[in-house]
Structure 1
């Protein structure tokens, strides 16, 4: 028995768009400020753009880069570019010109879609880069700035107008062919290009539907940047469910609360830092909801206090875990019926764990980094999270050595240190590079951060290792206080001392804003660099 066209069709998430446009043609697909489209309209726009890409000479396997915000154009790129056979490369909008230039060159970008507000940094990057991609500008009247652009540069809407609505787009011949290329943050060197295939993104969407218990026609606020792990794949997931996507150009608590209310949003996602901003927003802009609003959060382990605050506003928060290399989430803090008997603080603590594997995830284990053996399920033994599943990357673009290292011994090695509890739920304790070894004792920076978040004046906190002549290294806390709140270094150190093992308390507290990535993750590498001269003498 052999594969044939009747019994085997390559899996690709672009098929979701076409099914939904056929069946739910008039349902709203994308809403952004004063613009809205139906699924039929979204499909036609994507088909036309794919046609125009071919007319401009884009071939199968070429890279098309996108430097844009969460607007309809960014959503459409997740379908139009793959429908032309090209590889979608979304770029972090917060990167500097030199890093963007490196990505252009490493990916060999043939075309660039760029939001006009970002045209200046894109132009600077192109002046450094070796490649010269065709530029297409996205004009948005809601942009904060409108830099001058040469009249001979192609406008995005012209791709729509000039494209053929009857263009015969093709499914990939091989479901294991590249769909997208996402670059890591590059905090320890040059960013690495992570390659996703069509099969993995299809299965990620299906696993998300089951794991998040998604219904047909959800209303989804796209607050997760679409340049980050392709927005956790939710553009494709919402297409599969004929959902309505509410675009959010930039994150601001007042705007988020307004959109949640205005559009009767049912689901949204965001990093814990975003949830913290919502939970600590001024009371006059906060809104609570009697209807259930489901929230998916992923990133640094969320403090239980933040989850508790979100729950008090009527949000049903599910914590998930993943990496760029795993297409996003592969673990979830799946709620159990027995948790309903817990008080809010206990429930938040259980929900802050990274959890158990998603339906599309074959195996996630925690192994001892020295012996390679699985750690006992006692909530104490620390090991590295390793993963096997169809939503692991194909590999690193142009980097076989790093790919081989990441997949050593038949596992993807995450670099995250965690424990497993008796109930099988995994909880991260730290990144390998973030664990603090003080006098031979391991101190989890996440544990110290969680205690700091319990203090009523603490808005955001991050803990890193600080050199110490006696102990080798000790915890140093960086704290951003809530608006109109005060706390001294002595007070916070004493608070930690009274709420955890004495030796784990921070030895120094530095106050001020914390550096963050565009996805809201606190940049610990910057904090580590700043403490080199803070150690005790």
Structure 2
């Protein structure tokens, strides 16, 4: 091999710097110091102020003995301290562990112990559950408790005896000279998967992946400078899909929101002229189905990003009627949130709503800075035919993939077997390269030897005008082994019957795919809006079967 290009061409600070999203806020504070960075209630905070506060937080953490590789947990809603933690914690060299605020004390205790948290920043709303979690911890090392205050929180408080957030920041240096990570492979964040059995796995992000996914968000959305971003997506979920760092890169505005409620969302959109927001399908469904009076005066052209279940035609049509532009993305905790996008084409605009919905329901193609995404046969690790029919498993490789699972080398090795990250999602690939999920490997229903995609049945259910949410799981069957069981949440005021749902499915599905049981009621969901199928599987066995 000719090595002439490696001779006398050293890597130095002059020609190389590790990638990190921390550089985004540094630049924005220099270039746009007086631009608005954070809005929350009456608070208006510029980028210069935000950068100084993040440096104060980093300095105060270091003065408290917290540094490189230490874990700092945050149990916060979408408030300014949560934005600041995404920069201040890694500026101290520490790793940010954002805790799901909907979890029980036992699970929080496990995460604090497993992640070896040295400190916790907590909102007063979640102090009671954190107090119970601390009492359940197995580790004896003391926790530094930092308690925030929020004038928008009107509930009763339960002080934990920790330091007040503002007082803690005051002990730090606003000109703190934070350092770039020694290696862009250094950990920046720890996120726990919402495991359905056993303890959740700790997913470790690195600085490089966080920076690259944040920039990919900009590219996929053509996100302009000074975008106004509404925090409907929890920042504890995959670090808000890396959008705290994306908004900083664009010198945008973080419009904070404690609760996801249609009235509060529409009011924020009007008051702050919101341009972008993200959310699970349930969030977009809330807005589409909200009373018309709430939507009055909402700015046109708001860009919405949806992940999770594919957006049904009714959602796409409803978003278009509000003047919103919907982008469908797909990903997992292990790939920093979204890592594929259903990139739209101009020629789709002239198609009818049904065809547009079919095209937009696909999970699409790789994010700009992801190396590759393919549907592979998990046995041979070869690509399946791009025929839109042959199923395989979605696999990722490249920069937007986790370091691995914390303290779980076996699970890490399995996840990266063959040089690809195995998503566990079964899909097909079309001739144009676009991917469409058919099911999670564990959600395929095998009925009489035939594979039934629960997602295919759900897509049909969502076409019914009275269906707000739907999920299909396997129901044990003495004759067929398994049959589809549909759980359906109807829109308010709907009077649809089980027979109506079955008749609707018969119009669009082969007979063996039609649900043999239909259960009406509110569906159990995670804090990020995902339907909890593992809870529904527990109920499916007792669901009353019907003749189809």
TM-score category by the smaller chain? Answer: over 0.9
**Aligned 8 A contact 1:27 1:38 in 2:** yes
The whole-number CA distance in structure 1 between the counterparts of 2:298 and 2:361 is 22
Once the two structures are TM-superposed, the CA of residue 16 in structure 1 deviates from its matched residue by 0.5
Pairwise mapping of residues 391-410 of structure 1 onto structure 2 (< 5 A)? 391-410=400-419
* 1:149 and 2:149 are equivalent in the alignment: no
**Is the Cα contact below 8 Å between 1:304 and 1:450 reproduced in 2?**
no
Q: 1:166, CA displacement in angstroms?
A: 2.1
Asked whether the 8 Å contact 1:49–1:160 carries over to 2, the reply is yes
Hey, what's the Cα distance between the residues in 2 that align with 1:520 and 1:536? 28
More off after superposition, 276-285 vs 240-249 = 276-285
Q: Aligned ranges for residues 230-249 of structure 1 at < 5 Å?
A: 230-249=239-258
Q: Distance in 1 between matches of 2:338 and 2:213?
A: 8
Of 88, 93, 104, the residue aligned with 1:80 is 88
In structure 2, how many angstroms separate the alpha carbons of the residues matched to 1:171 and 1:290?
A: 40
Shift of 1:169: 1.1
Task: Give me the whole-angstrom Cα distance separating, in 1, the residues matched to 2:252 and 2:34.
Answer: 12
Looking at structure 2, the residues matched to 356 and 37 of structure 1 have their Cα atoms a distance apart, in angstroms, of: 37
Unaligned runs of at least 5 residues, structure 1: none
Find out whether 1:193 has 2:220 as its counterpart.
no
Q: Equivalents in 1 of 2:539, 2:425: separation in Å?
A: 23
Give, in angstroms, the shift of residue 144 of structure 1: 4.5
SS class of match (1:284):
helix
Report matched runs for 1:394-473 at 5 Å: 394-473=403-482
**Cα shift at 1:155:** 0.6
Could you tell me how far apart the structure 2 residues matched to 1:61 and 1:290 are? 44
1:440-460: CA deviation from partner (whole Å, max 9, x where unpaired)? 111111111111111121111
Q: Structure 2: how far apart are the matches of 1:193 and 1:479? A: 32
- Describe the superposition over 1:272-309 as per-residue Cα deviations: whole angstroms up to 9, x where unpaired: 11111111112222347563111111122332322222
Q: Secondary structure at the match of 2:293?
A: coil
Structure 1 residue 351: Cα displacement: 1.2
- Structure 2 partner of 1:269: 278
Deviations 1:355-388 (A, max 9, x none): 0111111110101233332111111111100110
Aligned to 2:291: 282
CA distance in 2, matches of 1:250, 1:192: 27
Find 1:352's aligned residue among 355, 361, 369: 361
The one of 135, 143, 146 aligned to 2:145: 135
2:305 to 290, 296, 314: 296
Q: RMSD between aligned alpha carbons?
A: 1.3
For residues 287 and 469 of structure 1, the distance between their equivalents in structure 2, rounded to whole angstroms, comes to 53
Q: Between Structure 1 and Structure 2, how many residues are aligned?
A: 536
Query: Structure 2 length normalisation: TM-score?
Result: 0.96
* CA distance in structure 2 between the partners assigned to 1:411 and 1:316 by the alignment: 33
Partner secondary structure for residue 285 of structure 2: helix
Q: TM-score, with normalisation over the residues of structure 1?
A: 0.98
Work out which of the residue numbers 376, 390, 400 in structure 1 matches 2:399: 390
Structure 1 counterpart SS, 2:78: coil
Q: Is 1:12 equivalent to 2:20 in the alignment?
A: yes
CA distance in 2, matches of 1:323, 1:492: 31
Match of 1:255 among 244, 259, 264: 264
Q: Distance in 2 between matches of 1:169 and 1:10?
A: 14
Q: Who is 1:66 aligned against? A: 74
